Structures are given as C-alpha cells and as structure tokens.
C-alpha cells in the first residue's frame, strides 16, 4: 500500500505563529493598559532619613558573607510624601558605599519593614547588605521596580 509523503506547509505554520504572536501582544497590551499608576510611589514621592548602620553577625555557618566581605544592617526612616500609598519590598532599596559600589539587599541578613505606607505615613526600616570589608556605607536609595 502506497502512502504519499506528507507535505509541510511553511506558510501555514508562519500564519499560525503570527496569529499567536499578535494575540500575545494584544493580551499583554490590554493587561498593561488596565493597570493604573494611581497610588504608587516614585523615587521622588518618598523621603529617606536618619540613616545609621551597624555590623551584623550571621549565626548560621551556611549563610556567611563571601571572603573579603561583611554584613551590615542599615536603619533608616522612610516617609511617603506622595498622595497615594507606597508598596515596600527589601529589594526596592540599594546601598551605596564609599568605594562607589551599589549593593542590593542581602537575603542572609534579618530585615524589618512594613509592606507599605499610606500617604503621609513614616516607618522605621532595617535592611541588611553584604559589602566589602574595607567599604563604609554612605547612602540608601529607594529604587522601586514599578
């Protein structure tokens, strides 16, 4: 019994692919355009103040800083100067040290912060960072992802 070879239809596959891509972009556009920035913070709608730091010693032997580094725990106050609420996350903050390096929050250091701030509210925040042993913390910056 003879079975004819199945012919591939590259144009058909390309059309299906194009339809899927257009559908994905359309859905993404609709989802993004339905989101509103009302009530979210910008870098300029928060004020950071009263910055201090101290050494942090991790008791867990598996969560130690890399060789040549140390953990510091930074304390500061954040005030929402905007009209809407502000979402807070440890990853929204960066520490700059005197050697010019910018450091993200370290998961290995304890932290304390609320999940957010209403308009005009303030809160004390404690965050940890891993920095070079010879570096000195200088500034904290609020760098939200939204």
The answer to the question of residue 135 being in a domain is: yes
Same domain, 70 and 118: yes
What is the distance between the alpha carbons of residues 17 and 36, in angstroms, rounded to a whole number? 31
pLDDT tens for each residue of 101-132: 999 999 999 899 999 999 999 999 999 999 99
Q: How many domains does the chain have?
A: 2
Q: Domain check: are 78 and 96 in the same one? A: yes
Q: Do 48 and 21 fall within a single domain?
A: no
Q: Is the predicted pLDDT of residue 44 greater than 80, yes or no?
A: no
Residue 41 has pLDDT above 50, yes or no: no
pLDDT digit string, tens, across residues 52-70: 999 999 888 889 999 999 9
Please report the pLDDT score of residue 58 as a whole number: 86
Considering the domain architecture, whether residues 17 and 48 belong to the same structural domain is answered as no
74, 28: one domain = no
142 token code pair: 């609020």
**Domain for residue 89, yes or no?**
yes
């Amino acid at each position: 019994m003879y079975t004819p070879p199945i012919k591939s239809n590259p144009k058909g596959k390309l059309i299906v692919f194009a339809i899927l891509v257009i559908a994905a972009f359309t859905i993404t556009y609709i989802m993004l355009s339905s989101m509103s920035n009302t009530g979210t913070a910008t870098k300029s709608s928060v004020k950071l103040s009263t910055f201090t730091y101290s050494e942090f010693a991790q008791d867990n032997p598996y969560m130690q800083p890399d060789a040549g580094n140390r953990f510091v725990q930074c304390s500061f106050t954040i005030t929402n100067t905007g009209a809407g609420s502000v979402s807070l996350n440890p990853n929204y903050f960066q520490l700059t040290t005197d050697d010019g390096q910018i450091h993200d929050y370290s998961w290995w250091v304890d932290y304390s912060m609320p999940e957010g701030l209403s308009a005009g509210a303030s809160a004390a925040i404690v965050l940890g960072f891993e920095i070079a042993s010879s570096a000195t913390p200088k500034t904290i910056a609020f760098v939200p992802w939204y």
